[in-house]
Structure formats: C-alpha cells, structure tokens
Amino acid sequence: MTLRCYKCGKEISPGGTSYIIRIISISNFNGIIEPQENMDLKSLIKEIEEEIKGLPEDLIEEEIFKEKEFILCPRCKELFFANPFGKKLDNMKPPESIPPP
C-alpha cells in the first residue's frame, strides 16, 4: 500500500516520516436548556425525540461526535499546525524549507 500525504499528495516512502492528524469534534453542551413555559423534563425529551424521528442514527451521532484522521508529510504537518484554520496571515509566508525532525 502506498502512503501519500493527504494535503500535497507526496508519496511517503516505506519507513519515511509521516504524521497522523486526528481531528475530533465533540458537541459542547454547556448544561443549559432554555425552558419553555410549563414544560417538564418528560415533555422536553418527547419533543427532542420528535425532532430526531426518522433521521439516520449516524447523522444524529455526527451532531454529537465526529472524528477524522489524515496522514501528512513533515512539511504539510508544519504548515497545518502553523495555521490549522487557514486564516489570513497578514502577508506572512511559510518558510521555503523545514529542517528534518
């Protein structure tokens, strides 16, 4: 099996350096539920059940937890960690070369 960098496509030779980047998204429930007038917990649960009725389980699960993994070469790993969200860097440019680990 040929290993390739997910970002640049560079082939990673057997025994070569590569990195697994794992991204995990977990719902950030803060414990606050806005109560509706005269609604008890049983009614709230019933309302939630109605909202998700018919939705595939995997879609519901992805709203709470999702995980992805990517293999990156050393350069792409450094670029990823320098700016993981691709924000504008105000005319900054990444270095032309990155020393080996």
Residue closest to 100 by CA, chosen among 14, 13, 17: 17
Question: Taking the CA of residue 9 as centre, how many other CA atoms within 13 Å lie in the half-sphere pointing to its CB?
Answer: 0
Q: Tens digits of per-residue pLDDT, 44-85? A: 888 888 888 989 999 888 888 999 999 999 999 999 998 898
Percent of the chain beyond pLDDT 70? 92
Q: What is the pLDDT of residue 71?
A: 97
Question: Which structure tokens are listed for 96?
Answer: 């032309």
Q: How many Cα atoms are found within 13 Å in the side-chain-facing hemisphere of 22?
A: 4
- The full length of the chain comes to 101
What share of the chain has pLDDT > 90, as a percent?
43
